[in-house]
Amino acid sequence: MAAPKGIDTSLFHQAWWLEPATDGRIQEVSVERGGQIVGRLPYVISHVGPFRVSKMPPFTHILGPVVDSGVGKPQTRLVKRLSIVRELIDQLPRVSLFEQQFDPALDDGLALCDGLAFQDRGYAVSTQYNFLIDCRAPVAELWEGMHFKTRQHIRRAEEKYIVRPVDDATAFTQFYLRNTRVHGRRNNIEFGYFGALCAACRERNAGQMLGAFKADGTPVSMVFLVSSDTTMYYQLSTRGADPEDNGSINLLIWAAMQLAHARGLSFDFDGVYNSGSARFLSGFGGQIRTRLVARRGRSVFSLLQFLKLRYSRNETHRFT
């Protein structure tokens, strides 16, 4: 599952990531030209009742096609990439739902045209937003680039909490699940894959868990980060129910940004799913970016998912 020679990919395309993230179930389609692989598209199949679906693997924030568009004028490379991506799509297995998100900045920005290829094949293409900070800038500049209220929360948290690494994936998992229960939320994270992913990241110095602790050692919040050669990704965070804590996550993000600075990386905040998270994350500075989301669902499956969502909302209204 190697990338076409000379092509930059996200770390989420790497075999060492995808194998533990899917328990070895990762598959791919590929395209050859002249005996060389010039394109590949990883995917994983799972089951929802009697339906086969292909969605993003656990903890995997970016996927999509990997293409060698060759050399030449931008138009020549774009046309070649479109042709390769359409061939990849045509090889995908028939499923009730396909959904992937990918980074249009790949391949010198030519990956943006992947949306056209997916649209040509009947997929709906939308955007997902995220914030990106170039942490190679001086630390003082990163600090001044934040909103004053964000800096204020960090200063107050620094007075109360100690930041240190968390080395035990089980401890992180238990803390996360306990907080989920306390906050009355449903857990949607597939932690069965978490330990293997953490081990794979540790072997390659590509992952880091950080925690904010009280002076007596009580954990207050934790974050999980992963890194490529260019980017540190804000993967996962969890916070306890202490009503006096209004800044520990801010403190951990700031600590992560400083780690990214020390390694000469950008810091990717991952997807921004609503205006509330956008307000929170924008306080750290950085620039807004978009990712593409390609989705196609069969009519019967889509109808059942709609009815399921509507039923769950009705049940929520009944008991609130």
234-269 burial code (b ≥16 CB/10 A, e <16): bbbbbbbeeeebebbbbbbbbbbbbbbbeeebbbbb
Percentage of the residues of the chain whose pLDDT score is greater than 90: 71
Could you give phi then psi for residue 131, rounded to 5 degrees? -110, 140
Contacts of 288 (CB under 8 A, 6+ apart): 129, 130, 131, 132, 272, 282
Please tell me the distance from the alpha carbon of residue 227 to that of residue 210, in angstroms, as a whole number. Answer: 14
pLDDT at 141: 97
Inter-axis angle of helices 15-22 and 194-203, to 10 degrees?
Answer: 160
Cα 268 from Cα 287, distance rounded (Å): 10
- Structure-token pair, residue 315: 């049940």
Q: Determine the Cα–Cα distance for residues 55 and 21; give it in Å rounded to an integer.
A: 12
Local confidence band at 300 (pLDDT 50, 70, 90 cut-offs)? low
Q: Which residue has the higher pLDDT, 71 or 90?
A: 90
For the cut 50, the answer to whether the pLDDT of residue 88 exceeds it is yes
Number of H helices, E strands in the chain: 10, 13
Long-range contacts of 78-81 (CB under 8 A, 24+ apart): 78/110, 78/113, 81/107, 81/110, 81/111, 81/113, 81/114
Report phi then psi at 259, rounded to 5.
Answer: -65, -45
Residue 292 tokens read as 């593409």
DSSP conformational letter for 217 = S
108 vs 120, residue with greater confidence: 120
Contact in structure between 40 and 1 (CB atoms under 8 Å): yes
CA–CA gap between residue 95 and residue 159 (Å, rounded): 53
Beta bridge partners of 40: 30, 66
CA distance 128 to 107: 19
Contacts of 198 (CB under 8 A, 6+ apart): 169, 172, 207, 209, 224
Across all residues in the chain, what is the average pLDDT? 89
Distance between CA atoms of 179 and 153, rounded to whole angstroms?
A: 21
Taking only the tens place, the pLDDT of each residue in 142-161 is 999 999 999 999 999 999 99
| Domains of the chain and CATH, by start | 11-129+291-318 (3.40.630), 136-264 (3.40.630.30)
**pLDDT for 253-286, tens place per residue?**
999 999 999 999 999 998 677 778 888 888 999 8
**In the block, which residue shows the tokens 């009503």?**
243
- Per-residue pLDDT tens over the stretch 13-53: 999 999 999 999 999 999 999 999 999 999 999 998 889 99
Residue matched to tokens 């500075």: 285
